[in-house]
Amino acid sequence: MLTSYKTIKGYGEATTIIKKSEFIGYAMPAETEEAAVAFIQSIQKKHWDATHNCYAYQIGPHDEFQKSNDDGEPSGTAGKPILEVIKRKVLKNVVVVVTRYFGGIMLGAGGLVRAYGQAADAALQAAGIVTRSLLQTVHVEIDYTWLGKVEHETLQAGCFIDQTEYADRVRLSVLVPVEETEPYRKRIANATHGQAEISLGDPVYALIQEGKLLHK
């Protein structure tokens, strides 16, 4: 699995006017082709009266799924430039649709390439480009007397407490950078004199910004 990858934070939308033509760019995260297609169809339905709804997406840890569509524009002048913007920014799991309402002035092939690329770029910037990092879930079960110590050691290690369950003992679900899994396990074992029960859960991709866990 990739230890990190660039994608977009969420939905993005931006409108650009070029020689009286309106270009509306839409960007959305999509982890499957089905999700990408559903988003494309939603934009096509919304702008059923548009001159064109052109799109591209790139999905998969190794960009296994790529597709672009010119939707009636001259071949290679719309879908491909959108895809090239996604590739140039090295983004994964992203779909972009650019809707065009023709304004009466022909742009020519070069003008179309620039316009669709500009609209795609604006949509991606509106969505917000972020990095998702692979974190290992580590479950730590302890007596209540060790809770403060474990919380302190976890924060000092640059890890994140995702959940805390209170029962006869306390069970914390901690998200740890994958390369720090073993050092963290040893750190907690030493801090609790071996009294913590430590087990591994599932790895997850999470958004970390300025040292803070925003969401999984």
List average pLDDT for each run of 10 residues in the chain, which is 216 residues long.
Answer: 90 95 97 97 98 97 96 96 97 98 92 97 95 94 96 95 95 95 97 96 86 71
pLDDT digits (tens, 9 = 90+) for 173-197: 999 999 999 999 999 999 999 999 9
What letter would DSSP give residue 31?
A: S
The domain total for the chain is 2
d(CA 65, CA 203): 23
| pLDDT value of position 1 | 78
| pLDDT value of position 212 | 74
CA within 13 Å, CB half, 89: 26
User: According to DSSP H, which parts of the chain are helical?
Assistant: 33-46, 79-88, 108-127, 147-156, 181-191
d(CA 146, CA 140): 11
Q: Are 30 and 93 in contact, with CB atoms under 8 Å apart?
A: yes
Pairing of strands 160-166, 170-177: antiparallel
Residues with Cβ < 8 Å from 61, sequence gap 6 or more? 1, 2, 5, 92
pTM of the model: 0.82
Whether residue 1 lies inside any domain: the answer is: no
Give the burial string for 168-201 (b: 16+ CB within 10 Å, else e): eebbbebbbbeebbeebbebbeebbeeebebeee
Same-domain pairing of 119 and 155: no
Same-domain pairing of 85 and 164: no
Same-domain pairing of 19 and 125: yes
Same-domain pairing of 74 and 156: no
| pLDDT value of position 216 | 61
Residues in the chain: 216
| 89 φ, ψ (degrees, to nearest 5) | -85, 0
Segments forming the whole domain that contains residue 43? 6-130
Geometric angle at alpha carbon 102, from 100 and 103, rounded to 5° = 130
Given 82, 102, 130, the domain boundary residue is: 130
Same-domain pairing of 120 and 145: no
